[in-house]
Structure 1
Amino acid sequence: MCIVLVTTAHPSYSLIVIDNRDEFIIRPTSRPHWWISHHQQILSSRDLQRAEQGTWTGITKTGNFAVLTNYRETNTHDADHPIQGTRSRGGMVTAWLTAPNDENTHAFVHRLLEEGEGVAGVGGFSLLCGKLRRRRDTKHELEPLAIISNRCDSSEDVPWIAEKRGEVYGLSNTSYSDPDVWPKVQMGKEKVLEVVEHAVDKGLEEEELIEKLFDVLDSDTLPEQDGQDFEAYIMELKKSIFIPAIGQAAEPPLPADSIAAADPHLAKDCEAELQEKERPEPSPAMTGIYGTQRQTIILVDWEGNVTFRERSLWDEKGHPILRGEGDMDFRFKIEGWNGEKNG
């Protein structure tokens, strides 16, 4: 039950995004790194369980940004919304991250929902995406972001967010337009606004702000399992931003294959330990301990400077990592931030 929280409320940042990836903790996943595809320089971690090696969140040097949450499908008779998609949800993220530089967000929305294969064969998802750009006619407005879903009948049904200042938005494993707002989303939005107000009032530096945002992502209000099996208990996960380890440990899967082998351009950017692993065949479902596996914070200031911090909470064998010891930090400036053409 992942969660994404987005705000435009901090005056020093055009956008703040924080995200918890909840997953079976031994699902093979790379650490964040720069990789190249379709001439795009992409910063993300990658899911090594599926052949597509997609991701749940990422950003390019030219400002294409995307983050994904899935739906928990339950209707086994709904062919349009399969429980086990034949195509990776993570591939929806990389579809935008690898899009041509001259394709704007509106054109991508139309292409994904109304052309070719689009979202066919993909399990339920919401994709928050857009091109991070300051509007050319203003100093403090951002180009809007779209929330694409395979619950949208057409591009006209897609919500757009983040145009206005002072806003906060939340997205988890249900439709963004669902009137029944999950407790974790409501709580997260309130906590993010509290952190921003405190940071502005106290003049917190960026590192202090980041730690306060990690505190939000660590908010654990999950009820006790009290004997429920996992399938029954999973619905309680909508009540907590952070998901502590639940379930029973399983044998770890075979190690994941090197990203460099999947894409030769990545060889110099990949972590050494990933270069010696072999990817397992995709399995219908992971088993074992489930919980918040990764936490990501992205800050974008008004000059287009990006701070990307990802925190790993577990190692590849399912052992916990002390807070902060699994952090990786990246900083760069978005090319074309002011609307100028690249290259």
Structure 2
Amino acid sequence: MCLAAFALNADPRFPVVIAANRDEFFARPAAPMAWWRAGEVDVLAGRDLQAGGTWFGLTRTGRLALLTNVREPERQRPDAPSRGALVLDWLTRTESAAPYAASLAQGYNGFNLITAEPGDGPWHWISNRAPAPVALGPGVHGLSNAALDTPWPKTEGLKADLGQALAASANEEDLADRLFTALARSEPAPDAQLPDTGVGLLRERLLSPRFVRIPDPDAPGLARYGTRCSTVLVRHADGRVFVAERSVTADGSWLPAVVHRLPPQR
């Protein structure tokens, strides 16, 4: 993912709600969210068909992770391992966040990993740009390509829209529709509000919307890089989980949403 907002125990009907966009080069092959086997564990996740990892996934027991990269071009190593392996690593193991973070191999480019343990277990933010896992308390949190809750315009906007959607929605479908609309907003942020991450003003502008679309100079009408899919997850108070994903193609066409409903997780 490159943008995510998540509400934890902010509404008694829906104790967990996640709205997230994944941004990537369109030339990088990927499979949509589906059930597949990772080691000895069934995971519901998309799949990076180039490196084999994923960006957002959960298990039948409710163990969950999502990943964003840290935008820091001056520290990027082209030979670093794929960060998508981190999500699968978390999903296929059983330890809690602190020992897991301590066991992580070195050498990854900058990452943010949100982890959730099964049932009502704790949530944490783990990053190789932070000294220790940070426990996440109740409320609405946001994450893009910087540290947790860094107030980038698109992160703050999505957090606000998530809070409003929770207050206004009558059911999971209504909530999902509102969140997909929020994730599809393509307005760039004003220059005065843009971060300076070392990629230059033009690229900061192009990356500032929630829904990113950067044209391919060699293929008119197609995007070279941008939002590839939007995902909404809603967990009900009784443990049932609703997950919906919408994918978009390089020509801007939206594919039909794929919906998964999981029984109460234990």
TM-score, structure 2 as length reference: 0.87
1:104-150 Cα deviation digits (max 9, x unpaired) = 333323322xxxxx2x221111001121312xxxxxxxx32111111
Match of 2:174 in 1: 208
5+ unaligned residues in a row in structure 1: which ranges? 76-80, 113-117, 135-142, 252-286, 337-343
Cα RMSD, aligned residues only: 2.5
Partner residue of 2:253 out of 321, 324, 331:
321
Shift of 1:333: 2.4
Shift of 1:234: 1.9
Match of 2:236 in 1: 301
Match of 1:145 in 2: 123
Q: Separation in 2 of the partners of 1:326 and 1:26?
A: 21
The size of the alignment, in residue pairs, is: 257
Match of 2:82 in 1: 88
Equivalent position SS for 1:123: coil
5+ unaligned residues in a row in structure 2: which ranges? 192-198
Match of 2:21 in 1: 20
Residues 1:130 and 2:130 aligned together: no
Match of 2:71 in 1: 72
Residues 1:240 and 2:218 aligned together: no
More strand by share: 2
1:146-201 Cα deviation digits (max 9, x unpaired) = 11111123xxx32211x32xx110000012265xx2111111111111111112xx
Bigger radius of gyration:
1
Match of 2:196 in 1: none
Q: Tell whether the 8 Å contact from 2:206 to 2:214 is kept in structure 1 after alignment.
A: no
The alignment-based identity, stated in percent, is 30
Equivalent position SS for 2:30: coil
Match of 2:102 in 1: 110
